[in-house]
Amino acid sequence: MLIESSAYASRWRDVAPAAKALFALAGFVAAWLARSPVAFAVLTAMLVLAALLGARVQLRSYIAVALPPLGFLLLSCLTMLFGPDANGHWNLTTTMLPTIEHLALRSFAMLAAMLGLVLTTPLPDLLALLRKLRTPELLLDLMVLCYRMLFVMRQAWDESITAQTARLGYRNWRQAWRSTGLLAGQMAIQVWQRAAALQTAADARVYQGTLRFLPAAYPQAGRQITFSVLAGALMLAIALGDRL
């Protein structure tokens, strides 16, 4: 929900998805080519500032979306610090520190490129871009259904929480645990019923296996793509200069 709301509120909401995708792709490639910590820091700073200052994504939203993948990355780096010694015993080791540092910095830069794309581009625009790239329709339909089911689950969860709160279901810890268990047990049933209603609505509209959206127009797409290519070329030049 936070990702989609940030995308619609972004200053780059009306920028052509192809331009934003090219900029993100250039960030990915540059992060893959770079080697030194300085180059990674420069690339990450450019990508983060582009989202925060260029697209005007709120800092609070940016951090909230970035925290889960950063936590996963931190956990992965910590597990790499442990390895077997000559006797086969697992102990804390520092032999992997250079590799861990390189992977962490590269992951930071790639994450910044990904966040810059998803926090500024709503899903319908991404689907339109993927359709132009001849992505299989089955995959696009699955993306739409998963996207819609997130809102269905959120609505069912909020309505259930409101109903339980009105009945004093969270007046103490014991009652709160009981209400949470009942809620978890009922969520599957509610989501199943609402998904069946969505399928019935789609069948009533003669759904034939392809979901279509009203295409958006981008009058300045050519200019925007030009700026994106120039910015991407700058990041690639930094990465290539660092590599050479």
For 128-157, how does the pLDDT look when each residue is reduced to its tens digit (9 = 90+)? 888 888 888 778 877 877 777 777 777 777
Same domain, 156 and 193: yes
pLDDT at 61: 92
Best CA proximity match to 92, nearest among 104, 106, 77, 70: 77
Residue 105 sits in the same domain as residue 154: no
Q: How many domains does the chain have?
A: 2
Instruction: Answer yes or no: is 209 within a domain.
Output: no
Q: Which residue type, as a one-letter code, is found at position 170?
A: Y
Give me the pLDDT at residue 212, please. Answer: 66
Phi-psi region of 147 (alpha: psi -120 to 50; beta: other; left: phi over 0): alpha
pLDDT-wise least confident of 84-88, 130-134, 181-185: 84-88
- Tally the C-alpha atoms within 13 A of residue 159's C-alpha that lie toward its C-beta: 10
Range of the structural domain that residue 159 is part of? 130-204
Terminal alpha carbon distance of the chain: 42
Are the beta carbons of 7 and 120 closer than 8 angstroms? yes
The residues facing 91 across adjacent strands are 83
User: From CA 229, how far away is CA 223, in angstroms rounded?
Assistant: 10
Is residue 99 one of the residues assigned to a domain? yes
| Amino acid sitting at position 165 | T
pLDDT at 209: 61
Assess whether 98 and 199 both reside in one domain.
no
Kindly state whether residues 103 and 161 are assigned to the same domain: no
45 and 162: one domain? Answer: no
95 and 149 assigned to the same domain: no
Does residue 9 sit in the same domain as residue 91?
yes
Residue 211 lies in a domain: no
pTM: 0.79
Nearest CA to 5 out of 65, 85, 90, 77 is that of: 65
Q: Is the residue at 178 inside a domain?
A: yes
| pLDDT for position 195 | 74
The owner of tokens 């590799």 is 99
Task: With residue 82 as reference, give the H or E element that holds it.
Answer: strand 82-84
- 244: confidence class by pLDDT, cuts 50, 70, 90: confident
Residues 196 and 220 in one domain: no
Is residue 30 classed exposed, middle or buried when 0-12, 13-18 and 19+ CB atoms within 10 A define those classes?
Answer: buried
Contacts of 123 (CB under 8 A, 6+ apart): 4, 7, 143, 144, 147
Does residue 182 sit in the same domain as residue 231? no
| E-state strands within 66-121 | 82-84, 90-92
Higher pLDDT, 5 or 46: 46
| pLDDT-derived band at 206, boundaries 50, 70, 90 | low
Residue 21 has pLDDT above 90, yes or no: yes
- Give the lowest-confidence range in 70-84, 193-207, 222-236: 193-207
* φ, ψ (nearest 5 deg) of residue 37: -60, -35
Same domain, 112 and 135: no
Establish if 8 belongs to a structural domain: yes
Residue 210 domain-assigned? Answer: no
**Does the pLDDT at position 239 exceed 70?**
yes
Q: Residue 83: its pLDDT value, please?
A: 67
Task: Name, in order, each residue with C-beta under 8 angstroms of 140's C-beta and a sequence gap of 6 or more.
Answer: 127, 130, 131, 211
* Contact status, residue 66 vs residue 20, Cβ threshold 8 Å: no
Question: How confident is the prediction for the chain on average, in pLDDT?
Answer: 85
H/E stretch holding 144 reads helix 137-166
pLDDT at 86 over 70: no
- 109 lies in the same domain as 63: yes
Beta partners for 92?
A: 82
| pLDDT mean over 16-41 | 93
pLDDT over 80 (residue 89): no
Is residue 166 located within the same domain as residue 223? no
Higher pLDDT, 212 or 30: 30
Which pLDDT value is given to residue 187? 78
**Crossing angle of the two packed helices 123-132 and 137-166, in degrees rounded to 10:** 170
